[in-house]
């Protein structure tokens, strides 16, 4: 096969490497090893904390220099356990940026197109490590989903992990696409000491997807839209933090409380936005209600993909509310 054109050989090796079953393809020849390493290093994938540790050690010892500039990094952890993952991720980032082939931003952080996590955070984890590890990168697309099947409503991002996660994401100057699922936002009753004030403005974010979410109420989404579209700001907020690039917020199977509580619906967000317009601290009213409601309906979509067999808040067709309907809702 060494006589095949390099393009065909690269495609063949890429197909073989898609199978997670251990293979000795790197041992066939130096050409195969060179091609395979470039494929593996361009899109790094790890399936256990031990893999992360071994890779970090090989980089640190100089036994495995990067074959090319990494473009993406994926953590797909069998069983979903995150123990030791973020320590390992921090070690990998630290050692990658010391390699001359990696691309770094002005702060010396690893530049990636995509960082994808498919794993569970745990309530007893040291959640500071989430911020410490993730803030060593600067990515364009960030994805964190749970390891369970889509029809299984579960929590992968526990409430205590939310603050360090978004604190790290707020440092990304390239982030345009954010996809988070299986997330429980902080509840002030359950987590009274957690200093959570809502999803921060992410200056260059264009698309936000939140799926299988609990404890995210309409007021938080309304506040996020009002703060982060650049059209409406409270007098004590920094206008430089606004985001005029935001195009779409997709909310899928989002609950304002637990999964036994009410679903988040577009009329709730519209009503919450109308209420915010009446609050005295929001003195800089750059939008009238009609323009504001049009903005929210254009930017925000609320969808249902999974439904209970029995019980809970049933999905109902969404309808746009007129100004009079909103006034009745908030009165």
Q: Where are the domains of the chain?
A: 1-42, 43-307+315-330
Beta bridge partners of 75: 46, 117
Report pLDDT for 103. Answer: 92
Is 0.75 surpassed by the pTM of this model?
yes
Taking Cα atoms as reference points, which of 202, 184, 180 lies closest to residue 194? 184
Residue with tokens 């954010």: 178
Q: Are 298 and 291 in contact (CB under 8 A)?
A: no
Query: With b meaning 16 or more CB within 10 Å and e meaning fewer, what string describes 171-194?
Result: bbeebbebbbbbbbbbbeeebeee
Q: State residue 298 phi and psi, 5-degree precision.
A: -80, -35
Looking at residue 80, its pLDDT comes to 56
Q: In the prediction, which pLDDT does 203 show?
A: 86
**CA-based nearest residue to 141, from 99, 174, 100, 96:** 174
- Spatial CA neighbour of 178 closest among 166, 190, 164: 166
Mean pLDDT, 10 residues at a time, the chain of 331 residues? 70 72 70 79 90 92 88 86 83 92 92 96 86 96 92 90 96 97 90 83 94 94 83 43 76 93 93 81 60 87 83 58 46 45
State both tokens at 59: 């980089």
């Amino acid at each position: 096969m060494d006589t095949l054109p390099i393009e065909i050989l690269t495609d063949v090796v890429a197909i073989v490497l898609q199978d997670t079953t251990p293979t000795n393809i790197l041992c066939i020849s130096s050409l195969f090893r060179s091609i395979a390493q470039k494929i593996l290093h361009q899109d790094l994938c790890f399936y256990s904390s031990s893999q992360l540790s071994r890779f970090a050690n090989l980089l640190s010892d100089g036994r495995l220099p990067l074959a090319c500039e990494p473009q993406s990094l994926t953590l797909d952890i069998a069983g979903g356990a995150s123990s030791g993952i973020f320590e390992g991720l921090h070690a990998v980032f630290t050692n990658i940026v010391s390699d001359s082939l990696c691309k770094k931003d002005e702060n010396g952080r690893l530049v990636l197109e995509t960082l994808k996590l498919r794993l569970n955070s745990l309530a007893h984890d040291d959640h500071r490590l989430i911020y410490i590890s993730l803030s060593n990168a600067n990515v364009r697309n960030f994805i964190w989903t749970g390891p369970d099947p889509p029809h299984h409503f579960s929590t992968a991002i526990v409430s205590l992990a939310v603050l360090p996660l978004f604190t790290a994401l707020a440092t990304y100057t390239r982030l345009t696409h954010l996809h988070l699922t299986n997330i429980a936002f902080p509840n002030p009753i359950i987590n009274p000491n957690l200093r959570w004030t809502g999803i921060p403005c992410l200056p260059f974010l264009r698309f936000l997807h939140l799926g299988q979410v609990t404890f995210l109420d309409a007021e938080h989404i309304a506040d996020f839209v009002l703060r982060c579209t650049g059209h409406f700001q409270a007098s004590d907020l920094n206008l430089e933090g606004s985001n005029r690039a935001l195009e779409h917020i997709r909310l899928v199977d989002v609950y304002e409380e637990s999964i036994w509580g009410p679903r988040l619906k577009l009329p709730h967000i519209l009503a919450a936005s109308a209420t915010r317009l009446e609050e005295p601290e929001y003195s800089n009213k750059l939008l009238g209600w009609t323009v504001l409601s049009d903005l929210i309906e254009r930017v925000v979509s609320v969808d249902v993909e999974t439904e209970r067999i029995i019980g809970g808040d049933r999905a109902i067709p969404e309808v746009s509310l007129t100004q009079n309907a909103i006034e009745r809702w908030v009165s």
